[in-house]
Structure 1
């Protein structure tokens, strides 16, 4: 059955894989962007979806953008993938570095979900998937802001799951480990990844997308409030 799905941060490497996978499931995919609408539009054209832009840290502006999208009908699948990192040890971390990372990931989850949730539960069917990180489970040096934001998603999702499971809405967390991307390739040699990860390789964005697609499907109707790592055994 075709449903409307929204993916925040939809043109990133993991976001793009999720959008493509949800499209293969037959869903209409709305690709969110912030700084690179052109890339989101190209992806949307490829998968016969639609792209839009808003700043998730601006809650009123996000609400206005989503209300416009809801005019065409409820959005029953939300994948909150948008995030950023600004790594520095806590002693040297500015307030702007803390707030910038927490606002995109954690406030962004609230900003994206709140306008969608009442129309979603009105249909008695919904899927919410938040993309956290292995850093949210284990912590990581230089990432107190990022780890706090990603761990916060887990608590938020568990609470949302308790609130709406009786309405046919599930909420789960996917926590990727080291996943192939240009940024990872630049920052971490393959040899170092092999040392850190029991599977001795980085994951592929498509491997994250497979789990997201499953959690967003009818097949996962009895799974809610869970956090699943896609990490090759790390953690």
Structure 2
């Protein structure tokens, strides 16, 4: 099943898609064509959001860093940074090194503390897609995340929906890609993660209790392409979906 959060008739609601992905099934049973939906970020209010930097060896090499970090580079994100499918992201006038980062997102389904890696995937209820834009001029030492870049309003498109974990047999066997104005600029596979989804759940649960609805953005593969205002950006993950976003002048 695919679950989505939309704005409909003056309120925010959670709904799910029909089997053919052509429509959303509303709480009263009515169906809304997906082309008529006003998509919201499929994020539970108040959920904790953990994001990974440098979790793909090929991307680390691309940026000139060691293939693997001694400890994971984890940072937090707030609600306001998210924008839904087909939404707009402001591109700062001085953000000449702003580039998209397609990421698999794991959604936690139950309270999880000190989980062993072999048990970790059972704690995941579903998966979605994020495009966690980087603005390299704003990053400390070119790579270290900070609030100025990773918590700006509407700079992390997410969605369009959450796919149930049962429908994703192996989260480490998914292809990721990014297209800007139709041109392929980023491509990789979740098999190249340094810490797998299970490894990340295990690691984070050793630090804090993960709660239902919490999100883990798992990092991005190689492919740095600087974007301009007006660009249409498509982030796609095999078996999950296609997330579309437009860059607009800040």
TM-score (norm 2): 0.28
The normalised TM-score by structure 1 is: 0.29
More strand by share: 2
